[in-house]
Amino acid sequence: MPYTAEAPTRRESNEELRARIPGWGADLDPADRPAVPRERFAPEVTGAHWDFPERQEERVPRERSIEHRFLTPVFGTSAPLHGVSGAIRRFAYEKFGEGRAAHWLLLIAGDRVDAVGSHLRSVLTLRPDNPVTETGVVSELRRGGIRSRVGRGRADVKHGWIDPLLIAGFWVFTGIVAVAVVRSIGKR
Amino acid sequence: MMPDTRVGTTFGHEFIGVVDQVGPSVQNLKAGDRVMVPFNVYCGSCYYCARGLYSNCHNVNPNATAVGGIYGYSHTCGGYDGGQAEYVRVPFADVGPSIIPDWMDDEDALLLTDALATGYFGAQLGDIVEGDTVVVFGAGPIGLYAAKSAWLMGAGRVIVVDQLDYRLEKARTFAHAETVNFNEHNDIVVHMKKTTDFLGADVAIDAVGAEADGNLTQHITSAKLKLQGGSPVALNWAIDSVRKGGTISVMGAYGPIFSAVKFGDAMNKGLTLRMNQCPVKRQWPRLFEHIQNGYLKPNDIVTHRIPLEHIAEGYHMFSAKLDDCIKPIIVAEAS
């Protein structure tokens, strides 16, 4: 077909589509679509019976984005800041706005420190993490790990060999460095 | 990839439950009510909520102005514990939750709290007009619902792209869509041009988001090494597959740091890019009608029901896409 002003020919008519697909065209009129228009001023429909929410008690100092004028009246209370990861995260919130890459990269660094610290704490307790049950890897046996992958042409399987290197690589590298440091100290 | 995801936070942004206790100012709910809870935490009274943008509420997320409040979705989304637990705190109980109608199936109610509402919202953002060709990247729950919803809005063709044959089969049977396995084509964008008279689709919906596969460099730098906010493979395919002047709807979730998106192509093609986290409750009245009319059967895509005590296995199964998993549901009181 040459490039003309004509639109491509429809493969199925409205009648054919209506017969084949339950509800075809039920929301053809944009007026029937709840997200149209995008902004619809209607504060009366939300159920709010306040102009500004009652402020939640701030039991521990709560970090906030410097792009906010104040601590929002309501906030999550899960996992308050603590330790080294908490210090990194608080620095990220207090020093950098959300438009700065440093803000997010510091938060990611805080996540890594949090994870490492949690692993170390686990090792030092009487109930260390169980990598077999807590990673869910046993589902590889119970949920067909092999048949779900082999012969299916999955793109993720083709590069799956990299995953152990990426996941274990950090720990192996850290272990090597730790051993080297200990040996170095021992030689002195 | 969501920064500031802390050890000890309870995940789970898609949940229903029974009211155990209510705060002193709650007027519309009482203990014992069965409720469905939108994944958005929102106040109902701020500048954004007053305009229907519940997912962009300004009063609930001190950690970021770039995103609203979401249950169990990192501190970047407000630091709220989520629903994968026996109990969860739900702020603004007179605004977000609704009592589950007697006629509604529990699993349908659950799916209305995110996946179905988000897929339906994604189709709306495509501004579909009668006869449009709509291509949906991703045949997961959101993509399947978006494809199904595109028909409601009058699409003339709906094409779903994925790499997993069992999901594409579901796209054919559940969403009545044409399907394409991108692994069977050397260049999926060229294939999409060929199948749309070399113009491109009118609308493309990214229902994949941050962990997209199909480009090794993008996948490794984002999903594995976290050097990008997400792997924009599907989004870039959408940009390149849609016709000039077409519309992209982004339902796939991306983190707040930079991603290698082909904005040059989007600009030069005159595309309209539309996106947001779904304001869930705004979609409910119309979706209730569609379910009652038999146009939508949400729990047709549920493949697994996992007891809470086996949640780790459920996560691994879903993440690794084992056992033909499409949509697993966590059941707190499973016997």
User: Do residues B136 and B93 both lie within one domain?
Assistant: no
Rounded Cα gap, residues A110 and B42, in angstroms: 27
**Assigned domain for B1 exists:** no
**A33–B220 C-beta distance less than 8 A:** no
Report chain A (188 residues): mean pLDDT per 10 consecutive residues: 90 97 98 97 97 97 98 98 98 98 96 93 88 91 94 86 78 86 88
Of A22, A138, A152, the CB nearest to B165: A152
pLDDT of residue B335: 39
Of A51, A136, A144, the CB nearest to B45: A51
- Which residues touch B158 (CB under 8 Å, ≥6 apart)? B133, B134, B135, B136, B147, B150, B151, B175, B176, B177, B178
- Of B65, B98, B114, the last residue of a domain is B114
User: Do residues B110 and B225 both lie within one domain?
Assistant: no
**Assigned domain for B144 exists:** yes
If one counts the domains in chain B, the total is 2
Question: Measured at the alpha carbon of residue B35, what is the angle toward residues B122 and B296, in degrees to the nearest 5?
Answer: 40
Q: What residue numbers bound the domain in which B245 lies?
A: 119-275
User: Do residues B152 and B268 both lie within one domain?
Assistant: yes
Tokens of B273: 């890019």
User: Do residues B242 and B131 both lie within one domain?
Assistant: yes
CATH code, domain carrying B142: 3.40.50.720
User: Do residues B104 and B204 both lie within one domain?
Assistant: no
- Of B257, B275, B293, the last residue of a domain is B275
Task: Name the minimum distance, in Å, from the CA of B267 to any CA of chain A.
Answer: 22
Using a CB–CB cutoff of 8 Å, tell me whether B8 touches chain A.
Answer: yes
From the list B64, B70, B61, B76, the residue with the least C-alpha distance to B5 is B76
pLDDT bucket at B82, cuts 50 / 70 / 90: very high
Beta bridge partners of B179: B160
Taking each continuous run of H as one helix and of E as one strand, the counts in chain A are 7, 0
- Of B114, B142, B173, the last residue of a domain is B114
User: Do residues B107 and B169 both lie within one domain?
Assistant: no
Using a CB–CB cutoff of 8 Å, tell me whether A179 touches chain B.
Answer: no
**Assigned domain for B322 exists:** no
- ipTM for the assembly: 0.94
- Identify the residue among A49, A89, A100, A143 best suited for mutation to test binding to B, counting B beta carbons within 10 A and taking the highest: A143
Q: Residue B334 pLDDT > 60, yes or no?
A: no
**Beta-carbon-side half-sphere exposure of residue A46 (alpha carbons within 13 Å):** 27
pLDDT in tens, B255-289: 999 999 999 999 999 999 999 999 999 999 999 99
User: Do residues B97 and B145 both lie within one domain?
Assistant: no
CATH code, domain carrying B44: 3.90.180.10
User: Do residues B142 and B257 both lie within one domain?
Assistant: yes
